[in-house]
Amino acid sequence: MAGIEHIQVEPDEAGMRLDRWFKVHFPGLGFGQLQKLMRSGQVRVDGGRVKTDARVQPGQIVRIPPLDVDSKDAKSGPIAGKDLKHAGDAELLSRMLLHEDEKVFVLNKPAGLAVQGGSGLTRHIDQMLEAWTSKKGEKPRLVHRLDRDTSGVLVIARTRGAAQKLTAAFRERDTKKTYWSLVKGVPRKHEDKISTWLVKEATADGDRMRIAKHGEEGADHAISYYRVLETAAQSLAWLEMEPYTGRTHQLRVHALHIGHPIIGDPKYFDDDPNWDFPGGVQKRLHLHARHIDIPHPNGGRLRVTAPLPPHMVQTWNLLGFDETSAEEPDDE
């Protein structure tokens, strides 16, 4: 961990947002960590307090407090497919890390990496966590999951006691999970509640959830909320979605149920010959667990936000969506 540094803004960095400037110089520094440093006045520009959206200018001096992260010379940045195949478990987990304390890790899970094992899976988070087994021999524990193709916030308990408290918070719905998605078309209602029954059925392409009749055997009640954050030419909508219940594929099925499936969903987005898939948008699931607000095992609330995955950053840039325009709760 280095001491206090003072770095001068370079000419080619003129007008760069301060949070992006930090992403370039200190890629391992999480957005939540940076916000905390800003609020406490530990990061300053030309001696003054600043916000993450401040624009830096050449010649300005940025005060950097001691940071327990590597500088830009270290291996960092978005995790690519080749990393998932070849990088070591401890390295990958460290690059995913958004928050760490004595009871909890919070990761930004990349799209394409499974949380738990299954048929044909050679690598998944649960197995990788062996690399972070404590000196007491205690392996970190999963307390919830995300679909393999969904990216974003994943909470991990470091101890048995923390796992019990966090699992109870999920079971008792004392958590608030916020997802961002891109869907086909624009919902007629700007915000709404979706309430259905879901049941799992086996198909040729594997298990799939469908809307069930009330009282159908094996069906579970599922409730989601959504609101439209921005639209693109009435053909696409950026939604903020909140699952009140935690059913398998819930948000994906609910998006389809209201007639606006999530872009790139391999299970629930059927190609429509009368609708052109947007050029430049990757056919990958555009669903990201953006933020979580959960009781911390030591008391108080833990709030963490995960940056968008590369394929969604590419889409947001293409559509002119500004992710900073959505109001973000304070982290940590």
- CB–CB of 37/43 below 8 Å? yes
Task: Classify residue 102 by its DSSP letter.
Answer: S
Residues 131 and 182 both lie in one domain: no
Of the chain, the percentage scoring pLDDT greater than 90 comes to: 52
Does the residue 70 lie in any domain?
no
State the distance between the two ends of the chain, measured CA to CA, in whole angstroms.
Answer: 21
Does 316 have pLDDT greater than 60? yes
The confidence score (pLDDT) of residue 75 equals: 46
- CB–CB of 253/268 below 8 Å? yes
Does 264 have pLDDT greater than 60? yes
Residues 166 and 186 both lie in one domain: no
Residues 192 and 276 both lie in one domain: yes
The confidence score (pLDDT) of residue 1 equals: 41
Residues 6+ apart with CB under 8 A from 312: 151, 180, 182, 286, 288
Residues 208 and 155 both lie in one domain: no
The total domain count for the chain is: 3
Q: Which structural domain range is residue 35 located in?
A: 5-64
Q: Catalytic site residues?
A: 147
Q: What is the CATH number for 230?
A: 3.30.2350.10
Residues 299 and 240 both lie in one domain: yes
Take residue 150 and report the two structure tokens written for it: 């969904």
Residues 214 and 297 both lie in one domain: yes
Residues 250 and 280 both lie in one domain: yes
Does 7 have pLDDT greater than 50? yes
Predicted confidence (pLDDT) per residue in 179-221, tens digit: 999 999 999 999 999 999 999 988 877 789 999 988 899 999 9
Does 163 have pLDDT greater than 60? yes
3-state SS string over 287-305? EEEEEEEEECCCCCEEEEE
Residue-averaged pLDDT of the chain: 87
Predicted confidence (pLDDT) per residue in 37-95, tens digit: 888 899 999 889 998 888 888 889 998 888 766 544 444 456 766 677 777 888 888 88
Confidence of residue 135 (pLDDT cuts 50, 70, 90): confident
Does the residue 332 lie in any domain?
no
Residues 11 and 137 both lie in one domain: no
User: Nearest-CA neighbor of 209 among 219, 223, 224?
Assistant: 219
Using CA atoms, how far apart are residues 60 and 48, in angstroms rounded to an integer?
11
Residues 168 and 189 both lie in one domain: no
